[in-house]
Structure 1
Amino acid sequence: MLINNKARSLAAISIIAGLLSGCSGPIAKNSEVTDKKTEQVTLKFHFWYNEDQDNWKIVYKEFEKKYPNIKIEAVTAGDNNSIDYLKKLDLAAASGDQIDVMMFSQPQFYTQRAAIKMLEPLNNYIAKDGYKVQDEYYIDPSIGDKTYALPAKKTTFFVMLNKNHLDEAGLPVPKDWTWDEFLDYSKKLTKGEGANKRYGTFFHTFPIYYQIAQINQMDNYYLYKDDGKTLNLDNPLIKRSLDIRKQAEIVDKSATPYSETVSQKLSYRPQFFNEKASMIITGDYMIPEAGGTDKVPANFKTVFAPYPKVNKNDPTTTISGGDLMGVYAKSKHKDEAYQFVRWYTTEGITLQGKYIPAWKKADVSNVLDNLIASSKTPDNVDKESLLNVIKNSIPQKFNIPKPYHDEIDKAYIKEVERFLLGEVDTDAAIKNASQKVQEVIKNNSK
């Protein structure tokens, strides 16, 4: 989920900056939504999810039942590709197409578009409704003193484990563990040789897997510090992250070698469900798939453990993330658009039963029941260990990334890949990555 360098990552959105300048007009009071009951409004909702697979039609139906004057019309390719969706969203904005509500899968996608005034500030609406975002939601996506979106689903990262493999190795389901213990499990779960070898774990190619010991910290977890200019690669947890990868993949040979992952284009779903790896670090978006799917069935029970800690006395934390939902700054139906955003991020997402809400008042146990029930084989999903992880994982502070965040990730990963392929050692990888990241920051500070 990476974006190319600045010139390419912002190419699509920069062409519409001029079109959007000065587009924020006076904000109408929310009461006007109910005052205009006789006026039928159709909102264009732009996102990337598959409507049938993720129960979106139930969302529209329930919302329209409560607000009969507002109709929701989805604009989605339905392919769950949030990167391609962004290109289509930016093109729609540049073409003057109707956009009322939009969603973002990553905070940097949100900040990029807030920076060019593509999103309507929601402060007046929130004040009118009489709540504080930080009191209502686990995530506060405010940028400075402005809130441009409300959080929909809350992401919790954890470890999924094959229960049969644990039993075979005589290992209990971890309820609280460190990276050292994770590595020990990985080693004990590894079995066989050659083409039939089963690895203890598998690291995918998403950005988090290149800084696994740092990325779940409560704060200061990006490759740069809060000012967006100071490097954070001298953080000892960066070196710890690389050491963990080296220990698992090179020393213990208990994780799929990076060379195989990239050359064979391996992915975490088939590696786990085809029992080529006993455990994977992943997010709660995998809960509905934990019991298998028609495409990739599961013939074993999946149990869950929290994201590993660096030190035994550290809190059990999870990466803070999730979908953000906002109102288009040029929408002609901002009141109704906000109404849908607020309803979906509270009642709607709970009724949908596909994601864990960022809304603090949601019944998490009931949500998990719905998620597990949607799996192909619900009996193969262990709710007890999952509920323990969800309830006891503390979301980290939600730091707003810089618009060039993905460009920094890409520069860093390129150098770490050389380390994982055995071309350079740990110190050289960090030194080279620091130089490359510093260049990105310098180029974006002009």
Structure 2
Amino acid sequence: MFKRNWKRFSAAAAILSLIVSGCASGSGESQGAGSNGSAADGTVTIKLHTWYPKKTDNWDVAIAEFEKKHPNIKVEFVSAEDNNSNEYYKKLDLASASGEALDVVMFSNMNYLSQRMELGMLEPLDGYLEQEGAVLADEYTVDTRIGGKTYGLPGKSVLPLVFINENHLKEAGLELPKDWTWDEYMQYAKAMTKTDAGKTRYGTYFHSWSTQAYFVQSMNQAFGANLTTDDGAAANADTPSVRKSLELRLQGEEEGFVTPYSEVISQKLNYRPQYFNQETSMISMGSFLVPETGGTDQVPATFKTVFAPLPKVNKEDPISGNVSGDVLGIYSKSKHKEEAYTFIRWYTTEGIVLQGKYFPSWKKAEMNEVVDNIIAGTKTPEMIDKESLLYVLEHTKQTTAAVAVPFHAELEKAFIEEFDAMMLSGQDLDTTVKNAQQRIQKIIDSK
């Protein structure tokens, strides 16, 4: 497992402890002031902290059904409803530090959960699972264990796949791929690139996320997917997968069929308008974007989207992709842990299917029903090609990468600085990889 001498997080834990103890001594309570969430009739109210909008994402529907099934538990939905998970984490940490009553807490991926687990914010769930005879690996496609312990159950599953504008595909005379390589993906992008009256519609777009700089490694391989080795002990930037990613990014730039990186950065471009405004023909993105291809109140769907599996490096490789997604945990100081677990377990199984907005991590979900629910909830369901979507979901082997080290953001920053030097200033690939490897190792050694 990862090295435990993480100075930054040890310091943060100490500060958090001081803040919490200070709040407790001032209020005379160990956890927040006011009601403990229990009513005179025995009804318990638990708080669900998230960043999602309640009505837009059908949380009101899911919560109403849960409360119907469990009339002794009420769920208070706590969210800024702005879909901004980064701001949510700041508020969550502040709420924890100030001694607010917390019960169910959500994380957008395991890295964020891991950071707060290190600070003692999360309750282990293994005892609850054992009590009901449930085995994590039998229930869910995503492995959320850290050091052999379970601190959260997976909710929404995000599988990488390719979104393609069907009109552009047909215009280029191309068949929808069912099994392809990254080299073929780039050939498709080149074929769909079109310049008219001085304006270029690019064949594909890579977003500014650091993982899209080393996408072959971050999306395709279950082992060694991060910028460190899976044990967190060594840098993992000088690899064939990273090199392949960089080669493909350079090819797209040099041959002019990928949205220029300089424009992505300088104009702060976003993948949603790039795809939905038909500025690009194809993107490799997570399955969370599928419902939006059927149109929303804000962005109507004006073309049909077809889906292809994530490309592979070699023809003989299996079709696979690293899944990630939301994780729900119990706050370690919650006064209603049993009730919080009851909600988490229900929501991450039948609840998320009922919600009809996300692909679940629950293995027992009927995928055809899930897809039908998602498509039915869109503005123009005919714009989502169900057949190709089901094909991708049924033929992709879902894998789980190791949880990144808590200081992963520092590593990403170092890597992106070298990537920028390559993409924007002409630094050669070998120097980029060498510098990134050395800088990442230096950061690891300092922890």
> Structure 2 vs 1, CA of residues 157 and 165 (structure 1 numbering), >3 Å: closer, same or farther?
same
The 2-side partners of 1:10 and 1:83 are apart by 22
Tell me which residue corresponds to 1:46: 49
Report the alpha carbon displacement of residue 360 of structure 1 after superposing the two structures with TM.
0.2
- For residues 183-332 of structure 1, the aligned pairs below 5 Å read 183-192=186-195, 195-215=198-218, 216-250=220-254, 252-332=255-335
One-letter amino acid matched to 1:442: D
The 2-side partners of 1:96 and 1:349 are apart by 30
Please give the per-residue CA displacement for 1:46-101, whole angstroms capped at 9, x wherever unaligned: 11101111000011101110111110001110011111100000000011111000
Q: Secondary structure at the match of 1:186?
A: helix
- For residues 392-403 of structure 1, the aligned pairs below 5 Å read 392-403=395-406
One-letter amino acid matched to 1:15: I
For structure 1, the residue ranges without an aligned partner over 5 or more in a row are 1-5, 24-35
Report the alpha carbon displacement of residue 231 of structure 1 after superposing the two structures with TM.
1.3
1:413 matches 2:404: no
> Structure 2 vs 1, CA of residues 398 and 434 (structure 1 numbering), >3 Å: closer, same or farther?
closer
One-letter amino acid matched to 1:65: K
- For residues 114-133 of structure 1, the aligned pairs below 5 Å read 114-133=117-136
One-letter amino acid matched to 2:67: E
> Structure 2 vs 1, CA of residues 253 and 10 (structure 1 numbering), >3 Å: closer, same or farther?
farther
The 2-side partners of 1:46 and 1:10 are apart by 25
Report the alpha carbon displacement of residue 11 of structure 1 after superposing the two structures with TM.
8.2
Contact persistence 1:13–1:113 (CA under 8 A): no
Please give the per-residue CA displacement for 1:98-154, whole angstroms capped at 9, x wherever unaligned: 100001002110101111111001111111010110111111211123211111111
Report the alpha carbon displacement of residue 372 of structure 1 after superposing the two structures with TM.
1.5
1:113 matches 2:116: yes
Report the alpha carbon displacement of residue 424 of structure 1 after superposing the two structures with TM.
0.6
Residue identity over aligned pairs, in percent, reads: 50
The 1-side partners of 2:309 and 2:59 are apart by 29
Aligned residue-pair number: 425
The 1-side partners of 2:8 and 2:268 are apart by 24
1:345 matches 2:348: yes
Select the residue among 358, 361, 370 that pairs with 1:367: 370
Report the alpha carbon displacement of residue 406 of structure 1 after superposing the two structures with TM.
2.1
Tell me which residue corresponds to 1:16: 16
Contact persistence 2:186–2:252 (CA under 8 A): yes
Report the alpha carbon displacement of residue 408 of structure 1 after superposing the two structures with TM.
1.2
Higher mean C-alpha deviation, range 286-295 or range 49-58: 286-295
Tell me which residue corresponds to 2:153: 150
Contact persistence 1:229–1:441 (CA under 8 A): yes
Report the alpha carbon displacement of residue 19 of structure 1 after superposing the two structures with TM.
6.3
One-letter amino acid matched to 2:193: T
- TM-score normalised by length of structure 1: 0.91
> Structure 2 vs 1, CA of residues 80 and 205 (structure 1 numbering), >3 Å: closer, same or farther?
same
Select the residue among 134, 137, 145 that pairs with 2:140: 137
> Structure 2 vs 1, CA of residues 10 and 432 (structure 1 numbering), >3 Å: closer, same or farther?
farther
The 1-side partners of 2:444 and 2:372 are apart by 45
The 2-side partners of 1:11 and 1:145 are apart by 25
